[in-house]
Structure 1
Amino acid sequence: MKSREHIDPIFEQLFSQISPEVADSFTDEQLKAIQRGFGSQVGARHFLDIRFSLPIPRLRFYLVLLAGSERRSQQRLRNEKARYPLFNTGNIIFLIGFLTILLSCSFTIFSFFWSSLSSISTSPYPTSIPWIVDKSECEHTNRTWHDEKCWDDVHSPMF
């Protein structure tokens, strides 16, 4: 194999799978052109790049989520659209499952939030005022003295 400087690891991995007879048949110009092709992908980072394996017993699945600015050519976009259609059986099953989980979680959170709001009573109710221990002081503040306690008939629970 001819000497190559600053080799891209992806290029090296793929190039190592080529038989030595074929690999030696490349000219330096051809090798540099191929390396430039691989080099254009080095450093092409995505804004969002999430990759992980899903630990499902007896099954080997992985999930990749990429997002970023579109840099592919129109020709490449057309080729990929034909090669990887959005609406196929696997994608539809995944989207239905994902939307079902999302809606279930949203409904649960909304129900919990709504029930916690509706359980708070905003209407006033009577309550005793523990720091007023004298009937005259209680009546002076327009409250009611009853059972040796000062009662406020319009206490707000939002207080």
Structure 2
Amino acid sequence: MKSREHIDPIFERLFSKISPKIADSFTDEQLKAIQRGFGSQAGSRHSLDIRVSVPIPGLRFYLVLLAGSERRSQQRLQNEKGRYPLFNAGNIIFLTGFLTILLSCSFTIFPFLWSSLTSLASFTSISTSPYPTSIPWIFDKSECEHTNRTWRNQKCWDEQHSPMF
């Protein structure tokens, strides 16, 4: 087999599946062209690239989620549409299960968030509004009125007391 320097691991794995007789028939120019073809795909990364092995006992299962800008040609899109249809049995089962889990979680989470937000909003509006309160350290009418407060029922009242004070 000819010497190949700086080989892409994917190219190496695929190239190792070719019989040695055919692999030795490639010229150096052909090998370099094939390597360039593999190298051009190695640099194209997806904006979102999540690859997870899912630990399900007794099953070898993985999940891949890829997203990014569309760079495939219209011809390739048409070919892949036929090879990888969106609506097949596996995809429908997965999407149904995923949407069921998402819906059931939303029935649990949204009421909790709603009640938290409404209670926070009502607490904020009540607690920041000024309301009357008595001032415990003022004991006579003249001192109370001197501070622009109201004397009522033998107590000094501040009509604009802020709870944030």
What TM-score, normalized to structure 2?
0.71
Aligned partner of 1:72 in structure 2 is 72
Specify every segment of 5 or more residues in structure 1 that has no aligned partner in the other structure, as ranges.
none
Aligned match of 1:144:
151
Q: CA RMSD in A?
A: 3.1
More helix by share: 2
Alpha-carbon distance change, 61 to 139 in structure 1, aligned in 2, over 3 angstroms = farther
Does residue 117 in structure 1 map to residue 121 in structure 2?
Answer: yes
SS of equivalent residue, structure 2 residue 24: helix
Question: 2: CA distance between counterparts of 1:47 and 1:157?
Answer: 49
- Once the 2 structures are TM-superposed, how far is the Cα of residue 11 of structure 1 from its aligned partner? 0.5
**CA–CA distance in structure 2, aligned partners of residues 66 and 80 of structure 1:** 15
Q: What do the CA deviations read for 1:52-77 (whole angstroms, capped 9, x no partner)? A: 33344544433333222221111111
Q: Report the Cα offset of residue 19 of structure 1.
A: 3.2
Residues 1:81 and 1:115: Cα distance change in structure 2 (over 3 Å): farther
Calculate percent identity across the aligned residue pairs: 67
Structure 2's unaligned 5+ residue stretches are none
Asked if the contact 1:144–1:152 (Cα under 8 Å) also holds between the matched residues in 2, the reply is: no
How far did residue 12 of structure 1 move? 0.7
CA distance in 2, matches of 1:60, 1:138: 79
Question: Residues 117-136 of structure 1 correspond to what in structure 2 (within 5 A)?
Answer: 117-120=121-124, 121=126, 125-130=131-136, 132-136=138-142
Which residue in 1 is equivalent to 2:5?
5
Q: How does 1:12-91 map to 2 (within 5 A)?
A: 12-87=12-87, 88-91=91-94
Partner of 2:106: 103
What secondary structure is seen at the aligned counterpart in 2 of 1:40? helix
TM-score (normalised: structure 1): 0.73
Aligned residue pairs total 158
